[in-house]
Structure 1
Amino acid sequence: MARASSPKRKPSRRPWRRRLILALKILGVIAALGVIALAVTVYTTRAQLPSFDQLKSSPNGQMIRVHAADGTVIVSLGPSYGEWLSYDEIPKVMRDATVSVEDRRFRSHIGIDPIGVLRSVKLMIANWGTDRRIQGASTITQQVARTIFLSNKYTLSRKAHEAILALALERKFSKDQILELYMNKVYYGGGAYGIDAASRKFFGHSAKQLSLGEAAVIAGLVKAPSHYSPTADAEAAIGRAGVVLQLMAETGAITPEQAADTDPKSVALAPEPHQNSVRYFTDWALPQLDMLIDETNAPLDVWTTLDLSMQRAADTAIKADVPKGVQGALVSIDRDGAVRAMVGGKDYVSSIYNRATTAVRQPGSSWKLFVYLAALEAGYKPDDMVVDEPVTIQGWSPRNDSGHFSGAMKIRTALAYSVNTIAAKLGQDVGFHTVADMARRFGITTPIDTTPAMVLGTSEVHLIDMTRAFASVANKGIAVTPYGITKVTANGVTIYQHEVDRSHVLVAPYVAAEMTDLLQTAVATGTGRAAQIGRPVAGKTGTTTSNKDGWFLGFSSGLTTGVWMGRDDAKRVGGLSGGHAPARAWHDYMIKAVAGRPVEQFDTQVTLPEWQLEPDEESYFGQPDNGMFVDENGYPIAPGTYPGDTPTGPPPQQGYPDAYPGGTYPPDGSRTAPPEQPPVQQPPERLDQDWMDRVLGRTPDPDRRAAPAPARTPPPNDRSRGP
């Protein structure tokens, strides 16, 4: 008889439920212990907090004295404090504007804002894996804690400490006291701590008389004092003030009608005190302190590389040689990377924008430095023959500014007269990516185009990066890294000392020597002749589309200097070219800057190019050396199709080689030959040893007689070397 089968029992879920309940209990106990520990920490911190009067008198901000290379104090920076205003003395519109824009739940939270924290966590999750820093969750109380007790270093431990301090502050002081501390201590930019100092700096009167528009401007500064400062960027400050007014209307601090009737543009700013071009340098150098030192409280003395006599010469050269309506910039770097002079614009007061370090512009033919470096490294030699002839690369057909092709020529001749077809052929031979890699190797930090037209300088660059590249060539191929701070002392103790790294070799010394050889020729007889200073000089000009940019970069006697000129809106400048105003400014600066330095000869003497090749118009008349062939993006365009490409005057006429001595031209950029003057045939300049002695400042041998000039016979084509 079969045994009756018993029904299957369902597995009991009670063990899982018991485990879940146990886990929840453990978590509850941990949370309770955490809350108790937090409460103990907060109240312990509260007991250790200074009194309100002690917090009012506590120091904040850091005094910094900046020294030039000779020890002269050039700038004193640090906190400026106005009158301490009690809560009742602070205008209501200022209090309301601050709360509306910085912490609209200030009156209701406990020191930290849970809603703000959740929003910050949500943004952090959304931006996970990026470099974007999430901000905006800090309450006014947290900012008070950070301003008085902590640093601005962004770490999780600092944020946790900040939160505990904020909770403790809320337990010890009233909301009015915390807001009073905040508004008298927070940094508003320009060295101003507290609303009274900010009001006096920006508006010229006490904060007790702040209007609604002025209060909106000041309240908007806290988020980014340097960016929204009305003295640095009035448009950004006005736009930010408009946001503050909208937030005040949203929170009910003012009516929508009041917000609409208040025009931040009508706010009158106090005049800025006189500032000179030294501030371009200090604005570039001082932010580097955050990476060099950790000291945030002790007064600092910062010793820099700036040479005041060179800086004055640079400032004078830029102001004197930059055409009207055009901006200019100059950077001068010593052989070890020390920045000796920096001018970021014609007038620091009217524009603090540093065109030497921040602006990005097309370098024109000065970019050919990297093309020829890549070619020399690949095995080309300065006297190798190449053929100037029509060439098409990936649908792009570069042309020379002279409008003709000269056949076989040496590489030194091609660079001296900035022959575009040769640069294109060399770039194609070595590879456009190889040229880009060479530029990266020499310190170009901006994006690099790798289309064929890149050889003519279509990629935008920083002036300081290009100057650094030329300095590395001058340094025999060893990398030069620009620096501005030599040492930092705190209370007399050195806490930072710069050390020069001379170990990074970019190219072999012979490649750097050959490149210097080519650059000497460009200055001695080519497009950069206006930069001759009576001693050995190596350099290169650059002119871009429709004369929008003019460059000259070169080195002599251990000093490398780069000059850029152009309009901030990148519109054309009639007559501007690298061989004219920029080369003249370079000359005017360098002839003073190197006056006290010994004359240094390069590894090779100047070698004349094939003198049967007549200089092109870039050499005499400053036509753009890549302008008529590519647009801003490096794509080919037909000659004459660019707006305004028609010359403002008739083309240079035969018989007027000296119509514009030194490359000068009227302010409007026109180049019209003198009327009713019969053509005068000038004899060609004799390019012999006496001529080279005169260019290089050497004493000629009185017993030596110049040899007769050779016949102008072009070299046979069978000697040419095609890239």
Structure 2
Amino acid sequence: MIRFFGFLFSAGSIAVVAGVAVIGAVLWIYDRDLPDYDELTNYQPATLSRVYSGEGEVIAEFAEERRIFTPIDEIPALVKQAFISAEDKNFYDHGGVDGLGVVKAMVDNVRRVQTGERLRGASTITQQVIKNFLLNSESAVERKIKEFILSSRIESALSKDQILELYLNEIFLGQNAYGVTAAARRYFGKTPGELAPEEAAYLAALPKAPSSYHPVRQRDAAVARRNYVLEEMAQNGYLDRAEAEAAKARPLATVIGGEIESDLPPIPNYTYFTDEIRRQLSQKLGKKELFGGGLTVRATMDPELQSLGARALRDKLERWDRERDGWRGPLSTLEGISADDEAGWREALAAAPAPSDIEGWTKAVVLEVGEKSARIGIHEVEEDSDGHYIPFDDVKWARPRLDGGRLGAAPRKPSDVFSVGDVILVKRINKDDGSFARWSLRQVPLIQGAFMAMDPHTGRVLALQGGFSYEASVFDRATQAYRQPGSSFKPFVYAAALDNGYSPATIVLDAPVVVSFAGGDWKPKNYSNKFYGPSPLRLGLEMSRNLMTVRLAQDVGMDIVADYAERFGVYDDMPSHLSYALGAGETTLWRMVAAYGMFANGGRRVEPTLVDRVQDRRGETIYRHDRRECDACAADAPGEREPWPRPVAKRIMDRITAYQLVSLMEGVASRGTAARLSALGVPVAGKTGTTNDAKDAWFVGFTPNLVAGCFIGYDNPTPMGRGGTGGGQCAPVFQAFMEEALKTHPAGEFKAPEGVEFAMVDRYTGERVPDGSGGSAIREVFRAGQAPDMYQTAAVVGDLSSSFFGGGDLPMSLGGDAATIGDGESDAAGGAEYGAETGAEGGAIERPARPQPPRSLDRDLESGGLY
């Protein structure tokens, strides 16, 4: 017997030693490649970044994991108690691993195996923190061993509250909500401090399996799990029995289920403005920092101007689309729709895709088609007792668009346009007194465009609209679309001339030009197919004369013109081709508006920006656009001088040149191709632009305090046809915007710098005339000493005898890569027509065919390219 017990003791001792050795070996093996847990002591969770408008309104959030980090001392006790009760009731008592909990789980799992129930886990909150932060990729056995090793070490390195803070901010709780603060907002529209016991208990029920406890799809399971947590809270002494029972009896009401209307502002959708911020900050700071750094971004957007710009652009695009591009059918068609089944059609309509970011528009479904109207059901609009209708008079414009872009016959009855089940877009139309008039059919236009407004002194972009609807097309035509600027480029040619000895009254010949290059001859012409002889430089810009511009560019030198274009940022590396003087290159609205802003501010460089400042999660400024130094900004004593920020922008243009150019472009907006803008009644300058066959239409203009630009054209450059010019398309957009914007951004006056003098000259001949002269006399601006003598004209560019009167051509060489472009501006008004139809011999002057680019080009610059 003694020998038997001695054997058992020896075997047991050996087994214990062997077990200890095995455990030691396992610990030694896994201890060698344990992750570094020191990073938890300096943990910075991936936190969403917010973008604020200039008015302090949240306009965007950037997040891969929607998390709002909350320090543990700001998380209410009720929330902590709910999660501890649900996940680790002995959290404050164990050292990282709950031994008693493990034993209970093992015993309970024996029963669960027999009944086929899901096995119960025994991971503590500490172990879950380790798994979430450090051990995501290991197998279950390896992970558990490492959890056991790391738990005691982390418990000795961090306090319980620090561990709980990591857990409550990191845990995923479904609906793209990470952490309790984001989840409280997502599910209940509240902050954690506003949660009721049953709401805190529901959040605590989610870590186990968020998708298994969805508040709508798995409501019964969600309520059962919530009530389990409430019961645990009562047993642990966190709630008294009456509170727990009352909380269990309450229904599960959430924002997701529609039972609660959130008081918190909704998460804003992306717009062209905020998406461009995303692109630019991702490049500057990195995508990881932007989407997880908890940044506070102060955007430059003025919400009022943004709304004005978007509305002005949309109104113009929509009017054009109705007149020219016809009806292209419904967004989609819902089958089996009945007007009597309101719940059915509402559910189907809610799921139907449609853009929702167009002011005043909403989606609807056609329920019945009658003889004089169509009955519709409208998304999120209650049914009237008589229903909602679109009258036939509202859809007479809806000619069907046929193959090849042709328009069919006008509709004669509602059924020519509508079918039951059609998903369409509609807009409420009101009477003058604001009362309801009718519902009106709408569609997203084929033609597209962009609008941008900027402060010319700081570069702050106040409005940016890159298309009709961001949800319909995310392509940003303000920053991403490279299109030909046409005549809106001409001011850079004239700036180069004014800076090199020319004056606004310098005479330039408007006569036929032929440019020879390797692929053939280029014969530019004016939009009117006429030429006007000797004309002042001012008239050439106001009336957008192509032939004068080409002649001027050749005389100044295209290398100088290219330098100006690059200096102002229109192009990065502009070829010295004469066709570029008429806007044959490709650039963006973003660049053009910024360049015109430098004309408006007197010739100082400004960089356009969508962001004023970026702060990190600690409030430290990591980016600031305004780098001006401020004199006396620290002054706080009475009598000290007021703070004054000193400009640091580099001057890239002579002040006098800038003022002369502004004066010329004021003429464009008062007498020239954008004369309609004179109705604004304030100093406005700008330039229209249109390319060959009216494929691209532009207008960029400015007051002393605000610069704005518009581009309109089809995404796949296609001729717009009659009226598709910068003056006809974009100038009205600028005008509509400015009419409202001037109420909050007064224009002021363009101030003349020192060193200029004014003299009266005849607008058409450039001849100086006495002060007080009427008719075509205007007050012209010259450099001091540059004004011509009385009844004299300024210098002449070009050989008038051989080039104009002889009807001859001006040979110029471009090299082998010339491109061509014609201007679509109205150059026919103003000024006598010289020899427009006959040459020196009395014969008709042959009108050259529209020029084509040489076949050797890699792409068709004439058409504007495909971006």
TM-score, with normalisation over the residues of structure 1? 0.52
Indicate the residue corresponding to 1:610 in structure 2. 763
Residue pair 1:559, 1:594 contacting (<8 A) in 2 also: no
The match for 2:297 is 302
Is residue 419 of structure 1 aligned with residue 545 of structure 2? yes
Give the distance between the partners of 1:607 and 1:461, measured in 2 at CA: 37
Indicate whether 1:71 and 2:193 are aligned.
Answer: no
Instruction: Report Cα offsets for 1:531-562 as digits up to 9, x if no partner.
Output: 33210011000001111110000111311111
Q: Which string of whole-angstrom CA distances, capped at 9 and with x for unpartnered residues, describes residues 345-378 of structure 1?
A: 1001111111111110000000112111111111
User: Which residue of 746, 758, 767 maps to 1:598?
Assistant: 746
**1:387, 1:409 within 8 Å by CA — same for their partners in 2?**
yes
Q: Give the structure 1 partner of residue 684 of structure 2.
A: 537
Determine if contact 2:598/2:605 at 8 Å carries over to the other structure. Answer: yes
Q: Pick the aligned partner of 1:315 from 310, 322, 346.
A: 310
Name the counterpart of 1:486. 612
Give the strand-richer structure, 1 or 2.
2
> For 1:496, what is the secondary structure of its paired residue?
strand
Aligned AA (1:332) = A
In 1, are the aligned partners of 2:62 and 2:291 still within 8 Å (CA)? no
| Equivalent residue in structure 2 for 1:379, among 492, 501, 504 | 501
CA contact (8 A) 2:54 2:301 kept: yes
SS, match of residue 46 in structure 1:
coil
Q: Name the SS for the 1:371 alignment partner.
A: helix
User: Is 1:442 aligned with 2:563?
Assistant: no
Take 1:424 and 1:192, find their aligned partners in 2: how far apart are those partners? 61
Secondary structure at the residue paired with 1:329? strand
For 1:588, which of 716, 736, 747 is the aligned residue?
Answer: 736
* CA shift in 2, pair 1:45/1:356, >3 Å: farther
Q: Distance in 1 between matches of 2:465 and 2:65?
A: 27
Structure 1: which amino acid aligns with 2:626? E
User: Residue 497 in 1 paired to residue 618 in 2?
Assistant: no
Map of 1:249-328 to 2, 5 A cutoff?
276-287=271-282, 289-290=284-285, 298-322=293-317, 323-324=320-321, 325-328=446-449
- Closer/same/farther in 2, CA of residues 712 and 363 from structure 1, 3 Å limit: closer
Judge which range, 390-399 or 533-542, deviates more.
390-399
Counterpart amino acid of residue 706 in structure 2? L
Which piece of structure 1 moves more, 454-463 or 427-436? 427-436
* C-alpha distance in 2 between matches for 1:207 and 1:447: 55
Contact 1:517–1:606 (CA under 8 A) maintained in structure 2:
no
- SS of the counterpart of 2:727? coil
The 8 Å contact of residues 281 and 341 in structure 1, kept in 2 or not, is answered as: no
1:343 and 2:447 correspond: no
Q: 2:552 and 2:140 mapped to 1: Cα distance?
A: 70
- Residue 61 (1) aligns with residue 46 (2): yes
Letter in 1 for 2:506: D
2:451 to 296, 310, 330: 330
Task: Tell me the alpha carbon deviations over residues 634-670 of structure 1, each in whole angstroms, 9 at most, x when there is no partner.
Answer: 635999xxxxx9xxxxx99xxxx9xxxxxxxxxxxxx
Tell me, yes or no, if the aligned pair for 1:45 and 1:168 is still in contact at 8 Å: no
Partner of 1:568: 715
Larger radius of gyration: 2
SS in 1 for 2:711: strand
Residues 1:469 and 2:595 aligned together = yes
Would the aligned equivalents of 1:293 and 1:496 in 2 still touch at CA under 8 Å?
no
CA contact (8 A) 2:47 2:65 kept: no
Matched to 2:46, the amino acid is G
2:562, 2:211 → 1: CA distance? 58
Per-residue deviation, residues 275-332 of structure 1 (Å, max 9, x unmatched): 5554445445543551799787552211111100000001101110123221010111
CA separation of 1:442 and 1:318: change in aligned 2, threshold 3 A: same
Q: Secondary structure at the match of 2:522?
A: coil
Aligned CA distance change for structure 1 residues 167 and 283 (closer, same or farther; 3 Å): closer
Q: What's the CA shift for 1:148?
A: 6.6
Q: Is 2:819 the partner of 1:635?
A: yes
Residue 525 of structure 1 corresponds to which residue in structure 2? 671
Paired residue total:
433
| Aligned-pair CA distance for 1:571 | 1.4
Distance 1:599 1:293 in 2: 42
User: Cα offset for 1:173?
Assistant: 4.9
Number of the residue aligned with 1:578? 726
TM-score when scaled to structure 2? 0.44
Which stretch shows the higher mean deviation, 517-526 or 600-609?
A: 600-609
Q: Distance in 2 between matches of 1:293 and 1:59?
A: 13
1:491 Cα offset (Å): 3.7
> Shift of the alpha carbon at 1:64?
1.0
Equivalent-residue separation in structure 2 for 1:477 and 1:437 (angstroms)? 15
- Is the CA contact (8 Å cut-off) linking 1:280 and 1:343 kept in structure 2? no
Aligned-residue sequence identity (percent) comes to 30
Q: List structure 1 segments (4+ residues) > 4 angstroms apart after TM superposition.
A: 40-45, 165-174, 190-193, 206-209, 272-278, 291-298, 604-609, 611-615, 636-639, 711-714
Displacement of 1:484 in angstroms is: 1.5
Structure 2 CA distance for partners of 1:478 and 1:342, relative to 1, 3 Å: same
Query: What's the CA shift string for 1:488-529, capped at 9, x where partnerless?
Result: 232444343332463311111111111111111111100112
C-alpha distance 296-571 of structure 1, shift in aligned 2 (>3 A): closer
Taking the aligned partners of 2:744 and 2:268, their CA distance within structure 1 comes to: 34
CA contact (8 A) 1:612 1:713 kept: no
Structure 1 residue identity aligned to 2:460? A
Please, which of 491, 498, 501 is the counterpart of residue 369 of structure 1? Answer: 491
Report the residue type matching 1:310 in the other structure: L
- C-alpha separation in 2, matches of 1:339 and 1:526: 28
User: Which stretches in structure 2 are left out of the alignment for 5+ residues?
Assistant: 1-27, 68-129, 148-169, 187-208, 213-266, 322-445, 629-647, 753-757, 767-774, 777-813, 835-867
Structure 1 distance, partners of 2:459, 2:676, is: 26
- Taking the aligned partners of 1:459 and 1:70, their CA distance within structure 2 comes to 38
Contact 2:509–2:551, Cα closer than 8 Å, also in 1: no
Q: CA 1:273–1:280 in structure 2 vs 1: closer, same or farther (change >3 Å)? A: closer
Report the Cα offset of residue 75 of structure 1. 1.6
Q: Secondary structure at the match of 1:405?
A: coil
Find the aligned partners of 2:605 and 2:448 in 1 and give their Cα distance. Answer: 29
Write the distance in 1 (CA, Å) between the matches of 2:760 and 2:627: 34
CA distance in 2, matches of 1:293, 1:50: 22
The runs of 5 or more residues in structure 1 that have no matched partner are: 1-39, 83-144, 150-164, 178-184, 201-205, 210-271, 616-629, 640-644, 646-650, 658-683, 688-710, 715-723
- Say which SS state the counterpart of residue 303 (structure 1) adopts: strand
Amino acid in structure 1 at the alignment position of 2:470: Y
Residue 339 of structure 2 is matched in structure 1 by: none
For the residue of structure 1 that corresponds to 2:515, the secondary structure is coil
Cα separation, 2, equivalents of 1:372 and 1:148: 63
Quick one: distance in 2 between partners of 1:207 and 1:571? 51
Matched residues in 2 for 1:467 and 1:500: separation? 21
Report which stretch shifted further, 508-517 or 40-49: 40-49
Equivalents in 2 of 1:343, 1:581: separation in Å? 16
Residues 137-286 of structure 1 aligned to structure 2 (within 5 Å): 173=143, 276-286=271-281
- The residue identity in structure 2 corresponding to 1:309 is E
In the alignment, which residue of structure 2 is the partner of 1:182? none
8 Å contact kept, 1:477–1:505: yes
Please provide the CA RMSD for this pair.
Answer: 4.8
Aligned mates of 1:357, 1:607 — CA distance in 2: 42
Aligned counterparts of 1:191 and 1:499: Cα–Cα separation in 2: 36
Give the letter for the 1:389 counterpart: A
Q: CA deviation at 1:607?
A: 8.4
**C-alpha distance in 2, partners of 1:409/1:390?**
14
Amino acid at match of 1:76: E
Equivalent residue letter for 1:568:
D
